[in-house]
Structure 1
Amino acid sequence: MSTRRTSPPTVHTTAPAVTRMRDWLQERDLAVFRSVADRHWPGADPLLPKLSRSANHGLLWFGAAAGIAALGSSARSRRAALRGVASLAVASAAINTVGKGAVRRERPIADLVPVVRQLKRQPITTSFPSGHAASAAAFATGVALESKGWGAVVAPVAVAVAASRVYTGVHYPSDVLAGAALGVGAAFALRGVVPTRGQLPAPGRPPGEAPALPAGKDLVVVVNQASGTATATASLVREALPAAEVVEVPPQELSAALEKAAGRGRALGVCGGDGTVNLAASVAATHGMPLAVFPGGTLNHFAYDLGIETVHETAAALTAGDAIRVDLGRFRPGPRGAEGADGYFLNAFSLGVYPELVRTREHWSPRIGGWPAGVLAAFHVLRGRQPLEAELQGRRRPLWLLFVGNGLFQRVGPAPGRRHNLADGLLDVRVVHGGRTPALRLLAAAVAGPLTRSPAHAAVRRRRVRIGGLAPGTPYAYDGEVARSGTELTIDKLPEALTVYCPMPV
């Protein structure tokens, strides 16, 4: 008779191992918490509790975002502030919808912390993870993804806020670490959906020939005193390029000053908004000179599409002689009618409601600021307006808006979006057809993007656009300037007609 050998019973050790690991982590967590509670940090008692309270509901970070946007002198600062707030919003949503409900952990015992550190109002939500740490990390990471400089300023404050949650006894260290990790993840998740400017592809950059001008030697820069931040920017130009000649003039003397500057230097520089840069570009193209752009206006679309946001970026391109060629949009007859030269545009040309919007915005912006003036102008212009009647490509039709971009824009609306190619040889033509709901049609066109067609709007690419049947004196806009037309207009492009100093991508 054979003896049957049986295997010993299997012992399942996974669950006890997990339990032991969890207990060990909780013991370490409590030990670190007690160590922090027992230790006195000089100067921290009056500071960290106040800092912790200031971050309630994200108020500290909203204030920091407002400060970054106000103190920063470039669009990069404003983007950093906006991305920081957006990252905070994503992190807060994740914490409130998933994080707090996933782990029901009780708060630490407040008696372990000296009374002087304790918050006057103790939190009533669960302890894991720390919402304050998540918000702090999300905001700081979001800011740093757009601007390393501002990120370095915000990071120590974010670390202090996270540390304050343990110091005041409302969170265990692991709560703070988990919250911080979630905040960083939220900022990077947002970047995956909405790329930072550094992630976007570089614009089309056919190389151009331009002389290297170290310290701005043989460069004449004309500054429009009435443009945005031009006067402050002019001081930065003088510091960065001490050998350059910088001439500040009022708007009415701008054209004459640019013509004189074109005859004195090897390159023409300009500091102002898009309208000022437009005028300088026409002078530079006529004289066959390279153009150096220093953004000093409110929007600076052309400069930012070049990848130029600061004076130092233009100065570096001048020193190295780095330049590219870009297309120049053209419309005929120009602003002075049959007696004047052709008109040019670097960004966009438009008919319909947009010229009136520009004019109304410019009227109100000195009193209430640019963005509020834009909202007021949109409300005023769209109320009670009738569509424009025009003959487009041989067909007469009512139009709310005709937008012609110098190169393909990623979106269109009250202000142009970004272009990835400044030398594609094509016009980006957007038409919003007449109808009873101009606001909804304009919004639909803005959301639809390039290369679309619908009964309300259409977007196509062309090399030339002919417009006829216009009422004499119909207003049109080009690069933020407003003029009046005759009965016909022809719009086309001069491919790679302008050479512009531009920093080369690393």
Structure 2
Amino acid sequence: MAGARTRARVVIVMNPRSGGGKTARYGLAQRAEGMGAQVWTTSTEGDAVSLARNAVAEGAQLLGVAGGDGTVSAVAAVAADTGRPLVVVPAGTRNHFARDLGLDLRDPGRALDALVDGEPAQVDLGMLGSRVFVNNVSFGVYADALLEPGYRQDKPRAFAAVAPDYVKGKQWVEARVDTPRGTVEFPQVVLISNNPYHLATPRWLGRRFSLSTGRLGVIVLKRPAQAPPDLLRHLRGELRQDERGAGSAGDGAVIWSAPGITLHGEVPHLDAGVDGEAVRLAPPVVCAIRPGALRVLLPKDRPGTPPEHAMRH
């Protein structure tokens, strides 16, 4: 049954390849069309950005997107630039942005309830130059894993192929980053997120409990000169315990939030992962945030974020 909101022209851009075919597996196109929306599917002839822009040009007043975080960020950019609200349907593999919006990842179709009685919310968007990101921009081991052949088919194998040299300090990001502790040169990992990640509680590690702080989260990891036997455990401990930025910039983790961050380097390009997509960027690389740039419509019934007392356990 079509609700009041679907009397406006609604176009939902769907990526049929995301999440191993989740849009088909959950019957999302049929559910959306049953609620009065039009479904436009990405293909080699029509990418998500082109479809979203064409939808607006043809009178769409509300945009939706069903796919992974790369598809979501592409359509979110168009929605923000054209002042259209966005409905996000978690149909990818990880769905980090949808999860942090409080959506139900187990039943993606529940997000479509926002077409009937959605609650509006303003959220921030990260900016990599003129490119939008909804989750993060990463440099180092994750970016290199994305470039490994067969990454989508076997992610553990891809990480296993690139991680050892980073852990041993034989591989690094060819850049320097100014941090609250000073300049860090040649770190193993740089992670810049659209709003800071929660790091203090293992159960909720990597969640964002707000997407409207108006600040980027920044994590810079550099292998200590005298690394402990279990470097990864050592760095995880620093991530959870050392969010104040005290200490020297030479080794370990530096974690802070800021409205902008720049990576400097003398190399022709830096490999990066942007919302799970591999890209190459010419330094300097400048990231910023657009506070409240995106209006989303959220279903009233959604799992949400855990209560504050739960995060302490």
Match of 1:474 in 2: 270
Match of 1:313 in 2: 110
- What is the Cα deviation at residue 476 of structure 1? 1.1
- How far apart in 2 are the matches of 1:270 and 1:247? 10
- 1:451-470 map, 5 Å: 451-453=243-245, 455-470=251-266
Distance 1:312 1:364, change over 3 A: closer
Distance 1:441 1:261, change over 3 A: farther
- How far apart in 2 are the matches of 1:422 and 1:461? 13
Give the SS at the match of 1:253. coil
Equivalent AA in structure 2 for residue 401 of structure 1 = V
Distance 1:396 1:290, change over 3 A: same
- What is the Cα deviation at residue 480 of structure 1? 0.5
Contact kept in structure 1, 2:220 and 2:255, CA below 8 Å: yes
Contact kept in structure 1, 2:123 and 2:292, CA below 8 Å: yes
Contact kept in structure 1, 2:265 and 2:284, CA below 8 Å: yes
- Aligned partner (choices 414, 427, 430) of residue 216 of structure 2: 427
Contact kept in structure 2, 1:432 and 1:441, CA below 8 Å: no
Contact kept in structure 2, 1:233 and 1:296, CA below 8 Å: no
**How many residues end up aligned between the 2 structures?**
278
* Structure 1 residue 404 corresponds to structure 2 residue 192: yes
Answer 1 or 2: higher relative contact order, Cα 8 Å, separation at least 6. Answer: 2
* Structure 1 residue 253 corresponds to structure 2 residue 41: no
Contact kept in structure 1, 2:174 and 2:270, CA below 8 Å: no
- Aligned partner (choices 52, 76, 79) of residue 281 of structure 1: 76
Contact kept in structure 2, 1:407 and 1:425, CA below 8 Å: yes
Match of 1:116 in 2: none
Distance 1:234 1:486, change over 3 A: same
Distance 1:505 1:220, change over 3 A: closer
Alpha-carbon RMSD across the aligned residues, in angstroms, is 2.9
- What is the Cα deviation at residue 257 of structure 1? 1.6
**The structure with more strand, counted as a fraction of residues:** 2
Match of 1:327 in 2: 124
Q: Unaligned stretches of 5+ in structure 1?
A: 1-210, 333-341
Q: Unaligned stretches of 5+ in structure 2?
A: 303-313
* Structure 1 residue 386 corresponds to structure 2 residue 175: no
**The structure with more helix, counted as a fraction of residues:** 1
Equivalent AA in structure 2 for residue 286 of structure 1 = D
Match of 1:351 in 2: 139
Distance 1:364 1:330, change over 3 A: closer
Contact kept in structure 1, 2:122 and 2:212, CA below 8 Å: yes
Structure 2 length-normalised TM? 0.79
Equivalent AA in structure 2 for residue 501 of structure 1 = L
- Aligned partner (choices 441, 444, 450) of residue 234 of structure 2: 444
Give the SS at the match of 2:75. helix
- How far apart in 1 are the matches of 2:275 and 2:24? 22
- How far apart in 2 are the matches of 1:439 and 1:248? 49
Structure 1 length-normalised TM? 0.50
- How far apart in 1 are the matches of 2:191 and 2:118? 34
Equivalent AA in structure 2 for residue 317 of structure 1 = A
Match of 1:160 in 2: none
Match of 1:219 in 2: 10
Offset from partner CA, 1:372-401 (integer Å, 9 cap, x none): x2x222221123341123121283512000
Give the SS at the match of 2:65. strand
Match of 1:271 in 2: 66
- What is the Cα deviation at residue 322 of structure 1? 1.6
Contact kept in structure 1, 2:228 and 2:234, CA below 8 Å: no
Match of 2:28 in 1: 236
Distance 1:329 1:443, change over 3 A: farther
Contact kept in structure 1, 2:118 and 2:300, CA below 8 Å: no
Distance 1:427 1:225, change over 3 A: same
- How far apart in 2 are the matches of 1:252 and 1:353? 32
Match of 2:97 in 1: 302
- What is the Cα deviation at residue 468 of structure 1? 1.0
Match of 1:103 in 2: none
- What is the Cα deviation at residue 356 of structure 1? 0.8
- Aligned partner (choices 392, 399, 418) of residue 207 of structure 2: 418
- What is the Cα deviation at residue 285 of structure 1? 0.9
- How far apart in 2 are the matches of 1:236 and 1:505? 18
Give the SS at the match of 1:363. coil
Offset from partner CA, 1:211-250 (integer Å, 9 cap, x none): 9524x75111111122113432572342254221112222
- How far apart in 1 are the matches of 2:280 and 2:135? 18
Give the SS at the match of 2:207. coil
- How far apart in 1 are the matches of 2:262 and 2:228? 23
